[in-house]
Chain A
Amino acid sequence: MTQDSGMLKHTLRRLLGLLPTLLMLITVTFFMMRMAPGGPFDSEKLLPAEIEANLNAKYHLDEPLLRQYFRYMGQIAVLDFGPSFQYKDWSVNELIAQSYPVSLTVGGLAMLLAFVLGTTLGIAAALRQNTRVDYSLMGIAMLGISVPNFVIAPILILLLAVYAGWLPAGGWDWGIASMVLPVVTLALPVTAYIARLTRGSMIEVLHSNFIRTARAKGLPESVVIRRHALKPAILPVISFMGPATAGLISGSVVIERIFSLPGLGSYFVTGALNRDYTLVMGVVIFYGVLIILLNFLVDLIYAWLNPKIRYDEKY
C-alpha cells in the first residue's frame, strides 16, 4: 500500500516534470514555424494585397509575433488549438478528433499484432536456438525489418485487393476489411523487430541462474517459460514499445498515403508544407503529449514487471 502511494506520488512528480519539456516543445515549434519562409496564404495564384490583408487580420497574423505567441498559449491553455488555416471548415481540434481515432486504431492494432506475433515468434526461435526454425524465423524477421513499408504495401494491395479482390485497396470505413492491410503492413517491421528483440533477451534469460533454479525445482518447461522467463524476456520489448507505439499511433504518413487513411500522420506533412501554423502546432503538441504519456505508461508496466525498479523508486 505504502509502496503504491509512493509510486503515485512519483508518478505525479514525473508528469509535472514533463510540463517544461512540453512548454519548450510548443515554444520552439511556434517560432520555428513562423521563421520558415513563406506563409499560409502563399500560393501559385495571385492574391491581391487587400485579400492577403483580410486573411492576415482574420487569423491575427498581422499582430506582433510575441502577441501571437501569448494569444496562442492562452488558447491552448483551454485546449483550443484554433482554426486550421488550410482546412477552413474545421478547427484543429476537430481535425485531430476525427483523424486520431483512425491512427489510434490502426497503430494500436498494429502494435498489438506486432507484440503478440513478435514475442511469440521470438520465443519460438529462442527455444529452438540455432536450429533451422530459428534461422528461418530470424531470416524472415531480418527481411521484415529491412524491406520498407512502401514496398510491402503495394505488393499486398496488388495481391489481396486488386487481383484477389478479398480486401479493399484502400480507404477507411471502420470495417475490419479496411483495417487488415494497413494494420498488417504497419505491424510487419515492428513484429520483426520485436521478434528479434524477444529472441535475444529470451536466450539470455534462459541462461540465467534463476531459470536453472526453476528447472531444478522440477517445474515443467512450459511453466518455467511462462512463469519465470517470459516477464524478464519481454522487458526490453516493453521499453522499446513506448516510443514505438507513440510512433505507430501518431499515424504513419506512408501508410496513410498508400492506403488513403484519414489518419493524423498526414497532417504533419500537409500542415508543415502549407504553413498551416495552427495545425502543425496542434499535431505537434498532441504528439508530444502522446509520447510523454506512453513513455510514462511503459515505465509503469516496466515497474510492474520488475520489482527492483518499484523498490528503487522509494528512494
Chain B
Amino acid sequence: MKPTRQFFVLAVCVPLLSACGSDDGERLPGSLDRHARAVELVVAEDGRPVPWVLAVEQVLHRDNGEEPVTLDPHLAEGTPSAHILRDLFEGLTSESPTGRVIPGAAIRWNISRDGKTYTFYLRREARWSNGDPVTAEDFVYGLRRSASPSTASNFAQVLLPIANAAEVLAGKVPTDQLGVTAINDHILQIQLKGPTPYFLRLLNHSSTYPVHRPSLVKYGSAFSRPGNLVSNGAYILKDWVLRSRIELVKNENYWDAENVIIKQVFYYPFEDQSAASKQFRAGELHWTYGVPNNQFKWLQRHYPDELVISPWAGSYFFGYNVTREPFIENQDLRLALALALDRDLLTEKVTQFGEQPSYALVPPGIGEFVSPQPEWADWTQAERNDEARRLYAEAGYSEDKPLRFEIRYDTGQNNNKKMALAAASLWKQVLGVQATLVNEEGKVFLRNREQMVLTQVFRSGWTSDYADPFGFLELFRTGHGRNYYGYSNALYDSLLDEIASERIPARRRRLMFEAERILLGGLPFIPVYTYVTKRLVSPRLKGWESNIMDHHYSKNMFLLKSVHEGEASAAAVERDEERPAEPEESVTEEVLPTATEEGQANEAPGEHAAATAAPAAEDGQASEDPGEAANSEEVPKSEPEDDGATAPAEAVPAEVEALPAEIVESPQVQSEAPGETGEVPEENDAAGGDSGSGEGFRE
C-alpha cells in the first residue's frame, strides 16, 4: 500500500495499540519546527492523564480556518463557527472524542415506541456561565428561536424532523407550535414528525443549542458578543478580535469543569493554509485547520509526528446532468466515463493526502452502514478501461465522432481544477472524449449547477452535517433542492420515504443499502473519492481522537509537558507525595501514532543498549512504568543528566537537512530511541536556557 495510506492507518489505530513500541515522543532531529518534544502520556485509572505529565500552561492555540461568520448558535453556518460553538455551548447530546453520541446537557433520554417522542432528562447540576441553572425552558426557547422566521437562520433545516418545524419556519404557525415542550425545569419533550433515527446526532448541532434568555433579552442581536455571551458549554467567550483571534476561557460553572484541562483556547482565522502551517512550524499553533495542498510529501517527510490524516464523512464526485444531452437515458455512457476514471491515480497524484478511491456515494465509517460496491469496483483498471471502451463504442462514439461535453467546476479549496483536468485527460486518453473545462466563480457555479441548464458534467460532493447516510441519499430524491442531477426514480424515492420512517436500525440500513444500489445502477454521478481531514497537530496535544465528523472539543484535550518543561517543573513534582505511588497504578499509553515511526527512524546502529530508556528517564517517570520496563533497560539517572549537559554543545545545524531523508527510508525497526537522538531537541530548546534547570532537577 502507498505510504499515504499506511500512515493514515497508523494515525487511526495507534491509540489502540498502546502496548506496542516504547519510545519517547521524540521530535525529529531534522525537523525545524519549534514544537518541543512531549513527555510520555501517563493516564490514571479513570483514563484521565495524571497531573504530572501535563504542561503547566494549558493554553491551546487552534487554527480555525476562515473567520467564523457568527457566534450566534442559531445563525451559525460553516465549520469555523461550529468548532467554536461546540466549545461554548452544549446541546442535549454531546459527542465522545471518537464521535459517539454521549449525554450532553441531558444526562439520559427516553424514546417512545413509535420513535416520535423523545424525553430528555437534563442534568440538575448544569449551569450557564453566569451561574444560572440550565433548564428545559432554555432549550424550548432556543429551539423556538432557531426555528423562528424572524431569526432567519439558514441552518434551521436541522430542525425539520421536529413536529411543526416546517410550518413554523414558513411562518404558517407561531413558534410555540413547535413540537418542543418543557415538562418541568429538567424534563424536555420533543415531538417528531416521523421517526428520525439520527435525531440524537442533530442535537449537538448548533441550531439546537439553548440560549440564555435573559441575556438575549438584554443585549438583543449583540448577545453573542464577548462580555455579553452567556453559554452553557465548557468555555466562555472572552474576546473576539475580528479576523485576529477568538479567545475562550474555561467556564468554571460548567458541570464537568473539573475535568476540563485546557484553560484557555485561542482560535485563529487563516485565509491561507500555508500561512497557518508556517505559524505552526514556528511553534505558534498547536492545531491547524488543514494543510497546504500538494505539500503532503514534504510534510510527511519533515513533520511525520505532526501530520494527522484521517477519514472524513464526505464524498467527492462528478455529477451528470441527466436532463441534458448526451447523458439523458444514457446509462451505459455514464458508466463508461465512470469506469475510465483511474481513481487510484487521481487520489495518488491529484489529491495526494490519502483520500480513499470511492465507488459509491456514502463514505465509509458512518455508523455501521456499508455501501454496496458495484461489480467493477473489484476489477483492475485495465479491465475497467476495456469495458469503458466497449460501452463508449456501443453508445455510438469513436475516434472520428468523439463524445464532447463540458466539465464545470469552481475554484475552491479542493483541487477542483486539477481534478477536472485530470479527469478530462483520463477520459481523453482512455476513450478519446473531448471534454472542455469550464471554470466558474463560486456563486456562478452554484447557480448554474442548480439551474441545470448549462451543466453536463460538473464538480460535486457532499459532507453531511450529521453522521447518517440518509443525508447523502436524499440528494438524489426527485425535486430535492440539491438534486442538481435531474435524477428521478420513483422506486428510489419510495425507498427514501421508507427509510425516513423506519426505526429499526438494521432494517433501515438494509433499505439504505438497497437505495444506494439503485442509485449506483442509475449512476447520475461518478464517484471519485472520499474526503480526509488533514492537519498538523502538536505532539504535545492529546485527548482528541480522529473521527469522521471532524468534531474536536477543546474540553477533551490537554497539553503534555515538553520534555524540558518536564525537567524544569518536575523538580517540584518530585517531592509531591503523589508521585512515588502513582506509577504503580498508572498505565502508560503510547498515544502518539507517529511515535513508533519516529523511533525506528532515529535508530542508530550500535547505540541501542545504553540508550533505550534515556528519554524516558529524562521525564523521570516512564521508566518506572511496568509496560515500559518490559522492553527497556533501566538507565542510571546520571546518564541522561550527562546527555543534558553535553547536548547543547553538540548542536549541529548542518545535520538538520540531512536527517529527515533517513527517516523516510529507514526500515521499520524495533523502536528504541538511542540516547543520541535526545540531543537535538534538547539543544533546540536550549535557546531558552533550559538545560541548566534540567540538571538542577536531578539533584
Among B66, B149, B154, B160, max chain A CB count under 10 A is at B154
**Cβ of B154 and Cβ of A47 under 8 Å apart?**
yes
Q: Note all chain B residues with C-beta closer than 8 A to A58.
A: 150, 152
CA distance A51 to B156 in the complex (A): 7
Asked if A74 CB lies within 8 Å of chain B CBs, one says no
Q: Which of B184-222 contact A (CB under 8 A)?
A: 221-222
Residue of A nearest to B170 (CB): A50
Chain A window 259-282, contacts with chain B (Cβ cutoff 8 Å), 1 for yes, 0 for no: 111110010001001110000000
Residue of B nearest to A95 (CB): B242
Binding stretch for chain B, among A129-137, A163-171, A187-195: A163-171
Residue of A nearest to B482 (CB): A46
Asked if B506 CB lies within 8 Å of chain A CBs, one says no
Chain A window 166-185, contacts with chain B (Cβ cutoff 8 Å), 1 for yes, 0 for no: 00111111000000000000
Asked if B71 CB lies within 8 Å of chain A CBs, one says yes
Q: Note all chain A residues with C-beta closer than 8 A to B441.
A: 273
CA distance A55 to B33 in the complex (A): 46
**Cβ of B156 and Cβ of A88 under 8 Å apart?**
no
Asked if A162 CB lies within 8 Å of chain B CBs, one says yes
**Cβ of B152 and Cβ of A55 under 8 Å apart?**
yes
> B8: shortest Cβ distance to chain A, in Å?
25
CA distance A257 to B72 in the complex (A): 26
**Cβ of B225 and Cβ of A165 under 8 Å apart?**
no
- Say yes or no: A168-B69 contact (C-beta < 8 A), given A39-B443, A54-B149, A257-B272: no
> A245: shortest Cβ distance to chain B, in Å?
23
Asked if A312 CB lies within 8 Å of chain B CBs, one says no
Q: Note all chain B residues with C-beta closer than 8 A to A55.
A: 152, 154
Q: Note all chain B residues with C-beta closer than 8 A to A95.
A: 242
**Cβ of A37 and Cβ of B444 under 8 Å apart?**
yes
**Cβ of B446 and Cβ of A44 under 8 Å apart?**
yes
**Cβ of A162 and Cβ of B446 under 8 Å apart?**
no
**Cβ of A50 and Cβ of B166 under 8 Å apart?**
yes
CA distance A65 to B106 in the complex (A): 48
Among A50, A99, A172, max chain B CB count under 10 A is at A50
Q: Which of B219-241 contact A (CB under 8 A)?
A: 221-222, 224-225, 241
**Cβ of B243 and Cβ of A262 under 8 Å apart?**
yes
**Cβ of B443 and Cβ of A275 under 8 Å apart?**
yes
Q: Which of B237-278 contact A (CB under 8 A)?
A: 241-245, 268-272, 274-276, 278
CA distance A87 to B81 in the complex (A): 11
**Cβ of B282 and Cβ of A42 under 8 Å apart?**
no
Q: Note all chain A residues with C-beta closer than 8 A to B67.
A: 87
**Cβ of A162 and Cβ of B242 under 8 Å apart?**
no
Q: Note all chain B residues with C-beta closer than 8 A to A87.
A: 67, 69-70, 242
Q: Which of B125-166 contact A (CB under 8 A)?
A: 149-157, 160, 166
Q: Is the interface of B mostly helix, strand, loop or mixed?
A: loop
**Cβ of B279 and Cβ of A169 under 8 Å apart?**
yes
- Say yes or no: A258-B272 contact (C-beta < 8 A), given A39-B443, A165-B282: yes
- Total interface residues on A, CB under 8 Å, equals 56
Residue of B nearest to A98 (CB): B242
CA distance A36 to B446 in the complex (A): 12
Q: Which of A87-132 contact B (CB under 8 A)?
A: 87-90, 94-95, 98-99
**Cβ of B152 and Cβ of A54 under 8 Å apart?**
yes
**Cβ of B446 and Cβ of A38 under 8 Å apart?**
yes
Asked if A236 CB lies within 8 Å of chain B CBs, one says no
- Total interface residues on B, CB under 8 Å, equals 61
- Say yes or no: A99-B242 contact (C-beta < 8 A), given A256-B271, A275-B443: yes
**Cβ of A51 and Cβ of B278 under 8 Å apart?**
no
Asked if A308 CB lies within 8 Å of chain B CBs, one says no
Asked if B77 CB lies within 8 Å of chain A CBs, one says yes
Q: Note all chain A residues with C-beta closer than 8 A to B66.
A: 270
CA distance A94 to B226 in the complex (A): 14
**Cβ of A46 and Cβ of B282 under 8 Å apart?**
no
Residue of A nearest to B461 (CB): A44
**Cβ of A169 and Cβ of B275 under 8 Å apart?**
yes
Asked if A200 CB lies within 8 Å of chain B CBs, one says no
**Cβ of B275 and Cβ of A50 under 8 Å apart?**
no
Binding stretch for chain B, among A153-161, A202-210, A295-303: A153-161
CA distance A275 to B224 in the complex (A): 24
**Cβ of B275 and Cβ of A170 under 8 Å apart?**
yes
Asked if A17 CB lies within 8 Å of chain B CBs, one says no
Pick the contact of A51: B152, B243, B275, B443 (CB < 8 A): B152
Asked if A43 CB lies within 8 Å of chain B CBs, one says yes
Asked if A239 CB lies within 8 Å of chain B CBs, one says no
**Cβ of B77 and Cβ of A45 under 8 Å apart?**
yes
**Cβ of B279 and Cβ of A273 under 8 Å apart?**
no
Pick the contact of A42: B69, B155, B447 (CB < 8 A): B447
Asked if A68 CB lies within 8 Å of chain B CBs, one says no
Asked if B34 CB lies within 8 Å of chain A CBs, one says yes
**Cβ of A171 and Cβ of B271 under 8 Å apart?**
no
- Say yes or no: A37-B443 contact (C-beta < 8 A), given A87-B70, A168-B282, A260-B270: yes
A-B contact pairs, 27 of them (CB 8 A): A36-B444, A38-B447, A45-B465, A46-B157, A46-B480, A48-B157, A50-B149, A50-B166, A54-B151, A55-B154, A58-B152, A94-B242, A99-B242, A154-B278, A157-B278, A161-B278, A161-B279, A162-B278, A162-B282, A168-B279, A168-B282, A170-B276, A171-B244, A171-B245, A171-B284, A260-B244, A260-B276
Query: Which 10 residue pairs spanning A and B have beta carbons closest together?
Result: A38-B443, A262-B243, A88-B70, A50-B170, A169-B282, A257-B272, A58-B152, A54-B152, A54-B149, A169-B279
New contact pairs (4) apart from A45-B155, A99-B243, A165-B687, CB-CB < 8 Å: A57-B152, A161-B279, A169-B281, A273-B442
